[in-house]
Amino acid sequence: MTTILLCSGDIPEPLAYLGAVTPHTSGVAAPRLVFLYGPPAVGKLTVARAIADRLPFKILHNHVTIDAVTEVLPFGSDTFWRVVGRFRRDLVAAAADENIDLIYTYVFAPGDEQHVADIVLPYEHAGGTVWFVQLFAPREVLLQRVLAESRREHGKPTDAATLEHMLDEYDNFTAIAAPDSLTIDLAATSARDAADRIIDHITSG
């Protein structure tokens, strides 16, 4: 198993194990995980779909779980987020068990390190390869993109005021603390070109 992590800096305790090497059964294809993260409206799902158009990856994006849980529980409550987190972890663990290549999209903020570790762990245990990719764009670009009509497909926020509140409350521009980060500016790079860079990165080894 190889883990390729995409950020620099000191590694917090929940992520400290990520460089460990775990043997995988000989002759069995190891599953691959792309942990694709960045602020709301940056274009994570668009990039994920561009990758999945060319490589056999499934996509687990934020609203696969959020939309399902919102049907039953009030959005934003402690119980809501606890169930969403468990739902995501269970789906990822099942995908790793089934040797499914997965793109996992996430809005990361400091304090989420344990969730990151929980998502990566099943792929580590399966002997898989994990890549972290950070997508970012300047705040003013995000405030323009949040208005896109396509965001209504999954009930995402579509007004600048809501996004400004989210960006003020959480630091969604911080990189996950781990070595060898791949970081892409989606204000200067198209989603298709970003997907090309990611595909080159994950297939070069």
CATH code at position 76: 3.40.50.300
Q: Is residue 62 part of a domain?
A: yes
Whole-model pTM: value is 0.80
Residue 31: which of 124, 133, 105 has the closest Cα?
Answer: 124
* Average pLDDT, integer, range 45-64: 94
**At 105, which amino acid appears?**
T
Is pLDDT of 182 > 60? yes
Q: Is residue 26 part of a domain?
A: no
Is pLDDT of 141 > 80? yes
Total domains present in the chain:
1
- Residue-wise pLDDT for 86-104, tens only, equals 999 999 999 999 999 999 9
Q: Is residue 159 part of a domain?
A: yes
Domain that holds residue 75: 3-18+31-203
Rounded to the nearest 5°, which phi and psi values hold at 184?
-130, 130
